[in-house]
């Protein structure tokens, strides 16, 4: 077998090896079925079992209350930027509040503004997205249709350590890049959406978790695929669902339950991994510099620079030699980014840290 690299990609990203092996082993013929997962109908009992177990695993991991639905939709998290607003804002007298801590939140707000009245309640752009707002800075409309935030901004590496403080109203979260990386109190949310391709599976499916009572306010007349009620009624199979992606989610969530256990344990491991890098960066005497302020730093996407920027190209060459790949920062921010999703091993992060240390010893 070709040797696997340590893949620090921001998404699609590394998946747990046991999951990939199981996919490989059963790709030609699912046990007891004799056909590939790529070939079976979504109207088969095999698919029903896969779908039900994927939903059950997510429910168990998040300790999801009964009054929340789990949906598997297509069109990526980007489609949710519009769909959230079409369902929860269109036709409403109220306005929606967007807390913008990075590029994705900004895009979400822009789409909502096309569907109804939406306001950017806070925007970290002036500081180039280095933190979440301080508590006193946030002035939210108590009558807002909903308040939207991005729990982890993948490009700048800004992560909320806890939810924004909301006395009342509906909290909506784009959790694409930290979904199932840590426990959350679902009861505080009205709707959570997440593209699968970071922590839970391949590209092609977006998970939406929606509280039941929100279905009542959805305006009639939306295109059928853009109405959450369609997907609730039809168990996410109104049309052909992305079967392979849902199958992979089932395997990844099963891996989480069997190999890690709980989201508390996953969070501890994720923090440990991120701290291995942040500590080295902070103790590098200015050789490396973290992009984000302490208190808002992401456990998923560690964004940093080499202060002498001209060295970054050489650094990327060195990491490549050590089979550490996809460490270039997003084109809109530059610098470097190490994405450490659930499936990235401590061994992989140690290898990166060792390489960073060695590079500093030579060039520092």
Catalytic residue among 106, 160, 198, 227: 198
Contact 352, 338 (CB under 8 A): yes
Q: What are the CB-based long-range contacts (under 8 Å, 24+) for 356-359?
A: 356/277, 356/280, 356/288, 356/315, 357/280, 358/318, 359/311, 359/315, 359/318
Q: Identify whether 272 is a catalytic site residue.
A: no
Start-to-end C-alpha separation, the chain: 38
Full DSSP string of 165-191: P-SSS-EEEE-TTTTTSS---GGG-SE
Residue 69 Cβ, how far from ligand PMP at the closest point, in Å?
20
Taking the least distance from each CB to ligand PMP, the nearer of 330 and 353 is: 330
Residue 242 Cβ, how far from ligand PMP at the closest point, in Å?
12
Contact 247, 241 (CB under 8 A): no
Residue 40 Cβ, how far from ligand PMP at the closest point, in Å?
25
Taking the least distance from each CB to ligand PMP, the nearer of 174 and 227 is: 174
Q: Identify whether 122 is a catalytic site residue.
A: no
Give me 336's structure tokens.
């470097």
Rounded to 5 degrees, φ, ψ at 321 are -60, -35
Taking the least distance from each CB to ligand PMP, the nearer of 11 and 329 is: 11
CA gap 61, 111 in Å, rounded: 31
Residue 76 Cβ, how far from ligand PMP at the closest point, in Å?
3
Residue listed under structure tokens 């301080």? 134
Q: What are the CB-based long-range contacts (under 8 Å, 24+) for 16-23?
A: 16/252, 16/255, 16/259, 16/342, 16/343, 17/343, 18/255, 18/259, 19/248, 19/251, 19/252, 19/255, 19/343, 22/251, 23/247, 23/248, 23/251
> Applying CB under 6 A, which residues contact ligand PMP?
11, 76-78, 104, 150, 154, 174, 176-177, 195
Give me 59's structure tokens.
């429910």
Q: Identify whether 174 is a catalytic site residue.
A: yes
Residue 49 Cβ, how far from ligand PMP at the closest point, in Å?
26
Residue 296 Cβ, how far from ligand PMP at the closest point, in Å?
15
Taking the least distance from each CB to ligand PMP, the nearer of 176 and 319 is: 176
Question: Which residue from 22, 11, 95, 3 is spatially nearest to 259, judged by alpha carbons?
Answer: 22
Catalytic residue among 104, 122, 160, 255: 104
Catalytic residue among 160, 174, 273, 328: 174
Taking the least distance from each CB to ligand PMP, the nearer of 104 and 146 is: 104
Taking the least distance from each CB to ligand PMP, the nearer of 81 and 247 is: 81
Alpha carbon distances (Å) from 31 to 25, 37, 47: 10, 10, 13
Query: Any idea which residues carry the catalytic annotation?
Result: 104, 174, 198
């Amino acid at each position: 077998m070709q040797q696997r690299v340590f893949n620090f990609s921001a998404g699609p990203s590394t998946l747990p090896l046991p999951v990939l092996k199981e996919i490989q082993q059963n790709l030609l013929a699912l046990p007891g079925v004799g056909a590939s997962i790529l070939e079976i109908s979504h109207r088969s009992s095999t698919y029903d079992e896969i779908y039900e177990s994927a939903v059950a695993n997510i429910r168990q991991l998040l300790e999801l209350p009964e009054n929340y639905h789990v949906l598997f939709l297509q069109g990526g998290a980007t489609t949710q930027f519009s769909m959230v607003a079409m369902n929860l804002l269109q036709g409403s007298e109220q306005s929606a509040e967007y807390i913008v801590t990075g590029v994705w939140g900004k895009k979400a707000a822009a789409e909502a503004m096309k569907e109804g009245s939406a306001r950017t309640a806070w925007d970290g752009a002036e500081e180039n997205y280095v933190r979440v707002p301080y508590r006193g800075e946030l002035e939210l409309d108590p009558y807002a249709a909903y308040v939207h935030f991005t729990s982890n901004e993948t490009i700048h590496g800004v992560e909320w350590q806890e939810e924004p403080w909301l006395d009342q109203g509906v909290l909506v979260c784009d959790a694409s890049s930290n979904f199932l990386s840590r426990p959350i109190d679902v009861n505080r949310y009205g709707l959570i959406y997440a593209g699968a391709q970071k922590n839970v599976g391949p590209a092609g499916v977006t998970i939406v978790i929606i509280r039941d009572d929100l279905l009542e306010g959805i305006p009639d007349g939306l295109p059928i695929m853009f109405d959450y009620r369609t997907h609730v009624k039809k168990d996410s199979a109104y049309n052909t669902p992305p079967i392979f992606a849902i199958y992979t989610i089932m395997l990844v969530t099963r891996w989480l339950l069997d190999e890690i256990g709980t989201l508390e344990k996953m969070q501890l491991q994720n923090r440990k991994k991120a701290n291995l890098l942040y500590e080295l960066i902070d103790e590098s005497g200015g050789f490396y510099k973290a992009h984000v302020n302490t208190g808002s730093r992401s456990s998923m996407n560690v964004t940093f620079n080499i202060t002498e920027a001209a060295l970054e190209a050489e650094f990327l060459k060195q990491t490549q030699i050590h089979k550490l790949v996809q460490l270039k920062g997003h084109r809109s921010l530059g610098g470097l980014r190490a994405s450490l999703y659930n499936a990235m091993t401590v061994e992989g992060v140690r290898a990166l840290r060792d390489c960073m240390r060695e590079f500093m010893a030579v060039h520092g």
